[in-house]
Structure 1
Amino acid sequence: MKFAYRFSNLLGTVYRCGNLNFTCDGNSVISPVGNRVTVFDLKNNKSNTLPLATRYNIKCVGLSPDGRLAIIVDEGGDALLVSLVCRSVLHRFHFKGAVHSVSFSPDGRKFVVTKGNIAQMYHAPGRKREFNAFVLDKTYFGPYDETTCIDWTDDSRCFAVGSRDMSTWVFGAERWDNLIYYALGGHKDAIVACFFEASSLDLYTLSQDGALCVWQCDTLPEGLRLKAPTGWKADLLQREEEEEEEEGAERETTVRGKATPAAEEQQGKVKYSRLAKYFFNKEGDFNNLTAAAYHKKVHLLVTGFASGIFHLHELPEFNLIHSLSISDQRVASVAINSSGDWIAFGCSGLGQLLVWEWQSESYVLKQQGHFNSMVSLAYSPDGQHIVTGGDDGKVKVWNTLSGFCFVTFTEHSSGVTGVTFTTTGYVIVTSSMDGTVRAFDLHRYRNFRTFTSPRPTQFSCVAVDSSGEIVSAGAQDSFEVFIWSMQTGRLLDVLSGHEGPISGLCFNPMKSVLASASWDRTVRLWDMADSWRTTETLALTSDALAVTFRPDGAELAVATLNAQITFWDPENAVQTGSIEGRHDLKTGRKELDKITAKHSAKGKAFTTLCYSADGQSILAGGMSKFVCIYHVREQILRKKFEISCNLSLDAMEEFLNRRKMTEFGNLALIDQDAAEEGGVVIPLPGVKKGRCWAATTTEGLLIYSLDAQMLFDPFELDTSVTPVRIRAALRQRDFTRAILLAFRLNERKLLQETLEAVPWDEIEVISSSLPDLYVEKVLEFLASSFEVSRHLEFYLIWTQKLLMVHGQKLKSRVGTLLPVVQFLQKNIQRHLDDVSKLCDWNRYNLQYALAVSKQRGLKRPSEPPGSGEEADASEDDDDSLHLLGGGPGHADGPLA
């Protein structure tokens, strides 16, 4: 259980590529993020990433009409059938080619995928008991170029497919006699989207050059006739009918889909005629249409363009409702929820996801990740927030519970190289290549301090002491360490002595000692209380890349360029151990590399280190897809995590693809255009905080937390510990024995039943009788219960009594208890924030209601009944009641 970390959530990236989808209730957006899928709950203000990953970036997502199943297809044609209820993969399938789009039929019985110039219809999984979840029904041919889009009729009888050859094809999902296929032209560019009108075969087609064609069908959906079977099917059908007639059963031949030749002559083939053609670019400017969505009930058409502009039109009159710009980048995907109120936009160039409420013209959701790679991160002391810095110069603060970014600071004009929190958790200090170190206040969301050097320099790292009064930053070009005062912003001193760029800084948590690591193969310890002089210089065998202190300050860890992690005693300047990590830093071969992955790994090293809260383990990450946890004392690898398996990123495979090898060498080295994309490396700085740790990667901010799904993890279990004996002890009111037995069996539901059976006035007595070994386990259970339980006061009483009774004894084991205490503090602080906001809002509402009632009471004696002033006062009273029900404290309030 101690290292049973599982992928928990993906922050920092909200949209990468692919199509957006709303859930069937219209309250959540399903967004593909690289090779993962994130669900944004707009009602509850939460985001959650599904615990699955594809081999390549996701190309399209198809959602079933009931919202229970999703088909996720990546760029390589591999598909995952995912249950959105249990959040697990049910089936894997390969379409043997790149798939452009996938769409379920409205009745949920079939789905269509488009790949190449064909469309394939499959039986929807789960409808029949079949060995293979994906059973091919029909393959439709017609387009001469790649297919681009799909849309179904409401009755699932037909579907339309758009193509790059400027044509749209209407196919019958069944063997209709009067509609096998129908091709529509009229466009001069590739088809972007096609939509059927509600309960009709009328069609709208949109092309890339901004043209909209309205097509009218001369046949209603009910007018489609099933084709009479021929050959052996007809003989079999006739034989069955003869048998039924012999038995006396009367059946109509029209039920079988047969029609008389006269009726077939009267009802001809389905025909389409173009009613109108509209153009979006009326001014003549060249602006490609890139995405579109249509809501059939409210007749709302939403179109997105390459310039970041989107239009809202009412069809079929083509009346313009809105024309707004959300960015200067291409709108890659558009989706409308079931009620037609919210519109989701995805911009792949900026990694931006927007949800727009078009009637009130307000944002429901507006999230954007870092434009370039994330470089550094830091947890807040209570674990509720994470701050990240990127190469785009932005500093973003994320809520670990909701997964949303709630503030972005853009004061830096160049890449951010380091971020850190002060011990209070309300101040963020960042360093940047623009030559400034800035301090940001999380109360007022402003930059209240800017630290600079006498001459321009580039800062590569930053650190703040435990008191929050001293700020230090290391220079990359002048090889100096600068010290400032947080209170005054003045430069206190410049520490010289290093002969190479400063790569890392760290303050001792217990003493005023600063450790600075440099490329000159040394780590220097500076005494902040004694005129900032050098106390020790630790000589290394290679360039230092990262340095960190153990939480108790009694040990120092240094990562060097030769892939080693060395441990030092800072008091005596003696090396206590080392770990060789080269074999654990397995890297892949980039497309443009001329050497193999084995030789390339010789130049790799760990670039970031972080101790666990108890100091027994250390977390290390570098230019690799692996993050390692080592045991410090035993110097062995405890666990290795593979951060990503996305083969769309460069340097993920150890060997190059043979298909890209020619007689002249690697194809990427020959083709000069391939060098423009560049190799994508995966920097992995990580921070570990007790029960969870995070890593900044090319794909975003990955959070790993302890797996809570392990149901049976006993402790000192023997044959006498059974649920029957635990409940018998509860009936005998022997609560201490029942708690001890329950924690030895360690089943969560039984633990909850046992603790909640204790009367609140006996909690203090029971707490004092618990052994010290079980106090930690009870605190850990209480910390996890705060996340889900509604018995807030009851568990707070348990927590208070345990800490008051065993506080002195727990101080001796502060190292091992630190993760539990931090987990407890995080959950209690979250409840404090939520309850305090609710109380403040209620207090303001009551004050407003009292003010209105006093105003009404003052007016009433001087005015006769039924006067205009009294009527106005009653209207004000109604407004106050409406405000109490629907203000920001209401469930729907934060969405606006």
Structure 2
Amino acid sequence: MRFGYRPSRLLGAVHSGGNVVFSPDGNTLYSPVTNRVVVFDLIRHVSTMLPYEHAYPIRRVAVSPNGRFLLTVDIGGYLFLGHVSRGIILCRMRLKRPNKVRDLVFSPDGQFFAVTQDRQFQVWRTPGAAREFAPFVLHRTYGSHGDEIVSLAWAPCGQYLLTGSKDLTVRIWSLHPLPPAVFTPATLSGHRDRIVGAFFSASGPVEARDPPLLSDGAAGSPPSLPPSLPPPSTPNGPDTVWTPPRSSSLSSLRIYSIARDGFLYAWVIDPSTQTWKCHDRHAFQKSRRAHVVSVCYHAISSPLPAAAATAPSPGTALLVVGFSDGVFGLYDLPTGAVVHTLSVSSGQIGTVALNLTGEWLALGCASLGQLLVWEWQSETYVLKQQGHAQAVNAVAYSPDGQVMATGGEDAKVKLWSTASGFSFVTFTAHDAPVTALAFLGSGQAVLSASLDGTVRAHDLLRYRNFRTLTTPAPTQLLSLAVDPSGEVVCAGSSEPFEGWVMSQEGSPVSPGLGDEPGRKSQLIETHAHAADVLAVAFRPDGKELCVATLNGLLTCWDVAEGHEIRVLDGKRDLQGGRGHYDKISASAAAAAKHFTSLAYTADGSCLLAGGRSKFLCIYHLETKALVRKFQLSHDRSLDGVVDKLHSGKVGSDGLPLLGEDAGEDSGEDGGEDEALPGAKRGVDGSKRRLRAEVRVSCVRFSPTGREWAAATPQGLLVFGLEEDMQFNPMELDVAATPAAVREKIREGQVGMALVMAGQLNEEIVLLEALDAVPPGWENLLLLTRALPPSLAPRLLALVAKHLPRSPHLSFLLSFSLALLHTHGQVLRRDPAKHAPHLRAMQRAILKFQEDVGKHVDSSTALLNLLMAGEGGREEWKEDGEGKT
């Protein structure tokens, strides 16, 4: 069994704060979720997650103009420069004012990026290709605002910057020091509320240059700078006066600034006095109770496709304004005309973004965990997702592994597609947190148990709650199990601790199985443990049972014989992590660690266990060995992640100092309401003073064995096998080389060449060997019978990938049919894995049929027109050679 699992997706949460940004092509959306970044592909409708994570929740995200790099900064001040396609961190640093970062923006050419630091902001050079001890080089530090800077914007030429602050002013800065005759920093004042955003108007297209990190030259060579930029170092130091080109003049630009009260000011340069003045003013405030929370400016450089009557024309701009009452507005600048308004949420819209063409609007609401992409011209949703408002308690896989169900503290049950990672239905029938989930054997319904004392059955065909099971006496249900036929349901309750066996008809089969002597007689057999039992799990074949107890032990029992098979001690494996209020060290606190959820692998050889710890463990049962240990999160804002607390933030009694337990982020507005003392559950978890504890509520293995999921306070973390490896050999020997494969093809040994190419598992070599296969049904059958079964899935995936654009449609379909005839039983063992390839082949065939049908219909219509036209009709004559 393979154990190369790594975090691949984060479900149950789509947006938790910060800003969302589009990629430069407008087809990808990046959304921060706690300390990770979730990537939404809006074309393929797939969500993924970048492999790396921050030490604290992410506050700001910025994408480079070429779309290859991603800048992220968290509330702890750690700034990462990551490579998007490779999913790795290239450079990192920590800012001096960690909790004062409000904006982060790349320059239009990608050579610089600017970041706010309380009342100051800094401009840094993008790291170069050469390896350096300090890759981030500070260009300049600016600062003269009287309060915190909340907005940054670059001029289209990339030579000037614009800042908006809470001191109600907007200031203009130059990237490089300029003579006073050329440029003087200006201050724009007049707003009556704090600034939310300030922008330069676009004067024309700007060439997006690759930063030095992407230069194709040799490592260590000096990067080439654009003509408008000065060299990195000069004899007089970084403050050398530099004269900008004429194209960077500010006289052709207009500045827009919008405040929290909804008033937008347009600023232009007065030709007579050469000073900035307010040229126009617009009011966007919808009501007295609502205020502006987020804004986004986008210039229109080309006509919008299929534009509506109110669509802006080229040369104008779009402004998106998000309000605190869940309403957003789309406005045309410079006229200020309303283009589109819509109410999309009951919470405030904390972030807005526009794609490259200006057709799609991204809206994020962190308080409700909502993320929307709205196409305003057609008034349709491109993406509409909402995660659980609170922690995820339970998770379950469908029998075929294609659907995943989650239940959370918000009393909701959500269904997710394992192929795309999107939620497609939400059930809200429960009135209390959902504690357990189970699918029926047919996979057509999912059952959920809740603290409201009910077990509800949800239909996956009509998406409705079709049956509700209750206990005779009101009680809180904690666990759930269903037999393979789906007729008998068993639920466990707390206070009193009893087990209830019910039928799908709703009548109790047993009045309750508890600890009383009379009720114990109803059990087949009982086994005592030295500590409280917390979790149980059956092996897939039903012959073995594993029990987790409070003392950190895992005990395996033989179901048929009723005796103990093996005992695994997991206390040392769970060791690590000190709580914020713990008065003892992390090693001493390991005695209280234990497992609360268990899951067997598909083959039953290994066991996945998680509980009150930051670690998840996979054990090999026969050898009693720990195979892999995964750390759930490195987010230090969670309780129990670090092993040692900061000595400067802990008093002499071992408890945190006053004000240090409120977390790293105190909010932008301040004055949030606090939860009741000692409360660990609330509607808005971000307003609590008690930190969330890193733990696992539930773990489940997929029936396919290729992934498993863990329910955590941050969401549902899915670990999958690495499938993007470029080189993954199968039964490789020294004789299998690309040259040897081509030699076998020249010799006519196509079957051997195909086997050797499969051992290499390189796509180009496989295609060469597949193209050399001789056509003919008999030849294909003989060839596929000689292939090893392990090569069949790889060949099927290869055919499905290249079928839509290959001219050899008939040959590939015949080869696929022969492959299914020969190795159909092997492919049927994992239908969830191979079904996407078969569906892709079906789509390609239907597309080809549609294209051919269009040509045939058009040709037939043209022939009929020619035959029926006046003067073009000719009589059909028969001669010895046929009709003419």
TM-score (norm 1): 0.78
Tell me the alpha carbon deviations over residues 617-643 of structure 1, each in whole angstroms, 9 at most, x when there is no partner. 111111222111100111110011112
* Equivalent of 2:817 in 777, 788, 797: 797
* Equivalent of 1:548 in 534, 537, 541: 537
* Equivalent of 1:658 in 627, 630, 647: 647
- Determine what percentage of the aligned residue pairs are the same residue: 39
Tell me the alpha carbon deviations over residues 814-844 of structure 1, each in whole angstroms, 9 at most, x when there is no partner. xxxxxx855444332674499489969999x
Tell me the alpha carbon deviations over residues 632-663 of structure 1, each in whole angstroms, 9 at most, x when there is no partner. 11111001111211112222111111221234
Q: Is the 8 A contact 1:591 1:668 kept in 2?
A: no
* Equivalent of 1:470 in 468, 471, 488: 488
Letter in 2 for 1:116: D
Q: How far does residue 212 in structure 1 lie from its aligned partner after superposition?
A: 2.3
Q: For structure 1, which segment, 490-499 or 573-582, has the greater mean C-alpha deviation from structure 2 after superposition? A: 490-499
Measured at CA, do residues 538 and 664 of structure 1 come closer, stay the same or move farther in structure 2, by a change above 3 Å? Answer: closer
Letter in 1 for 2:367: G
Measured at CA, do residues 628 and 74 of structure 1 come closer, stay the same or move farther in structure 2, by a change above 3 Å? Answer: same
1:53-132 counterparts in 2 under 5 A?
53-98=53-98, 99-126=101-128, 132=134
* Equivalent of 2:834 in 827, 830, 833: 827
Measured at CA, do residues 64 and 380 of structure 1 come closer, stay the same or move farther in structure 2, by a change above 3 Å? Answer: same
* Equivalent of 1:637 in 603, 619, 626: 626
- The aligned residue for residue 686 of structure 1 is 699
CA distance in 2, matches of 1:637, 1:282: 60
Measured at CA, do residues 326 and 781 of structure 1 come closer, stay the same or move farther in structure 2, by a change above 3 Å? Answer: same
Q: Is the 8 A contact 1:780 1:824 kept in 2?
A: no
1:218-297 counterparts in 2 under 5 A?
218=270, 270-281=274-285, 283=287, 285-297=288-300
CA distance in 2, matches of 1:152, 1:198: 10
1:516-527 counterparts in 2 under 5 A?
none
1:563-582 counterparts in 2 under 5 A?
563-582=552-571
Q: Is the 8 A contact 2:796 2:837 kept in 1?
A: no
Q: Is the 8 A contact 2:615 2:631 kept in 1?
A: yes
CA distance in 1, matches of 2:717, 2:799: 24
Q: How far does residue 282 in structure 1 lie from its aligned partner after superposition?
A: 6.4
SS of residue paired to 2:527: strand
Measured at CA, do residues 411 and 47 of structure 1 come closer, stay the same or move farther in structure 2, by a change above 3 Å? Answer: same
Q: Is the 8 A contact 1:786 1:828 kept in 2?
A: no
- The aligned residue for residue 609 of structure 2 is 620
Unaligned runs of 5+ in 1: 220-266, 501-519, 527-532, 811-819, 866-896
Letter in 1 for 2:267: W
Q: For structure 1, which segment, 383-392 or 672-681, has the greater mean C-alpha deviation from structure 2 after superposition? A: 672-681
- The aligned residue for residue 145 of structure 2 is 143
Please say if 1:491 is aligned against 2:507.
yes
CA distance in 1, matches of 2:329, 2:107: 27
- The aligned residue for residue 597 of structure 1 is 586
CA distance in 2, matches of 1:325, 1:191: 23
CA distance in 2, matches of 1:190, 1:822: 62
Please say if 1:435 is aligned against 2:447.
no
Letter in 2 for 1:688: F
CA distance in 1, matches of 2:132, 2:184: 28
Tell me the alpha carbon deviations over residues 223-275 of structure 1, each in whole angstroms, 9 at most, x when there is no partner. xxxxxxxxxxxxxxxxxxxxxxxxxxxxxxxxxxxxxxxxxxxx97x411123
Q: How many residues align?
A: 757
Measured at CA, do residues 87 and 787 of structure 1 come closer, stay the same or move farther in structure 2, by a change above 3 Å? Answer: farther
- The aligned residue for residue 716 of structure 2 is 701
Letter in 1 for 2:418: T
Measured at CA, do residues 160 and 561 of structure 1 come closer, stay the same or move farther in structure 2, by a change above 3 Å? Answer: same
Q: Is the 8 A contact 1:482 1:491 kept in 2?
A: no
SS of residue paired to 1:539: coil
CA distance in 1, matches of 2:50, 2:123: 27
Q: How far does residue 435 in structure 1 lie from its aligned partner after superposition?
A: 1.5
CA distance in 1, matches of 2:444, 2:843: 17
- The aligned residue for residue 816 of structure 1 is none
SS of residue paired to 1:614: coil
Letter in 1 for 2:713: T
Q: Is the 8 A contact 1:567 1:576 kept in 2?
A: yes
CA distance in 2, matches of 1:720, 1:95: 53
Q: For structure 1, which segment, 586-595 or 46-55, has the greater mean C-alpha deviation from structure 2 after superposition? A: 586-595
Q: Is the 8 A contact 2:488 2:503 kept in 1?
A: yes
Measured at CA, do residues 830 and 717 of structure 1 come closer, stay the same or move farther in structure 2, by a change above 3 Å? Answer: closer
Please say if 1:36 is aligned against 2:36.
yes
Q: How far does residue 576 in structure 1 lie from its aligned partner after superposition?
A: 0.3
Letter in 2 for 1:68: R
Please say if 1:455 is aligned against 2:473.
yes
1:338-349 counterparts in 2 under 5 A?
338-349=356-367
Tell me the alpha carbon deviations over residues 770-791 of structure 1, each in whole angstroms, 9 at most, x when there is no partner. 6xxx53x235535765774538
* Equivalent of 1:208 in 260, 268, 278: 260
* Equivalent of 2:269 in 211, 217, 227: 217
Q: How far does residue 91 in structure 1 lie from its aligned partner after superposition?
A: 1.7
* Equivalent of 2:197 in 193, 199, 202: 193
CA distance in 1, matches of 2:27, 2:726: 31
Letter in 2 for 1:23: S
- The aligned residue for residue 214 of structure 2 is none
SS of residue paired to 2:449: strand
Q: How far does residue 534 in structure 1 lie from its aligned partner after superposition?
A: 2.6
Measured at CA, do residues 669 and 579 of structure 1 come closer, stay the same or move farther in structure 2, by a change above 3 Å? Answer: farther
Measured at CA, do residues 627 and 797 of structure 1 come closer, stay the same or move farther in structure 2, by a change above 3 Å? Answer: farther
Q: How far does residue 713 in structure 1 lie from its aligned partner after superposition?
A: 5.3
CA distance in 2, matches of 1:632, 1:758: 45
Q: Is the 8 A contact 2:22 2:353 kept in 1?
A: yes
Please say if 1:406 is aligned against 2:397.
no
Q: How far does residue 799 in structure 1 lie from its aligned partner after superposition?
A: 4.9
1:15-30 counterparts in 2 under 5 A?
15-30=15-30
- The aligned residue for residue 329 of structure 2 is 311
Measured at CA, do residues 594 and 207 of structure 1 come closer, stay the same or move farther in structure 2, by a change above 3 Å? Answer: farther
Q: Is the 8 A contact 2:796 2:816 kept in 1?
A: no
Q: Is the 8 A contact 1:145 1:164 kept in 2?
A: yes
Q: How far does residue 575 in structure 1 lie from its aligned partner after superposition?
A: 0.6
- The aligned residue for residue 171 of structure 2 is 169
SS of residue paired to 1:600: helix
Q: How far does residue 345 in structure 1 lie from its aligned partner after superposition?
A: 0.9
CA distance in 2, matches of 1:421, 1:665: 46
- The aligned residue for residue 134 of structure 1 is 136
Q: Is the 8 A contact 1:688 1:694 kept in 2?
A: yes
Letter in 1 for 2:509: D
1:384-399 counterparts in 2 under 5 A?
384-399=402-417
The root-mean-square deviation of aligned C-alpha atoms, in Å, is: 3.5
SS of residue paired to 2:778: helix
Q: How far does residue 165 in structure 1 lie from its aligned partner after superposition?
A: 1.7
CA distance in 1, matches of 2:292, 2:524: 65
Q: Is the 8 A contact 1:293 1:303 kept in 2?
A: yes
Please say if 1:781 is aligned against 2:781.
no
Q: How far does residue 766 in structure 1 lie from its aligned partner after superposition?
A: 4.5
TM-score (norm 2): 0.79
Measured at CA, do residues 799 and 644 of structure 1 come closer, stay the same or move farther in structure 2, by a change above 3 Å? Answer: farther
Q: For structure 1, which segment, 657-666 or 831-840, has the greater mean C-alpha deviation from structure 2 after superposition? A: 831-840
Q: How far does residue 210 in structure 1 lie from its aligned partner after superposition?
A: 2.9
- The aligned residue for residue 550 of structure 2 is 561
CA distance in 2, matches of 1:834, 1:669: 63
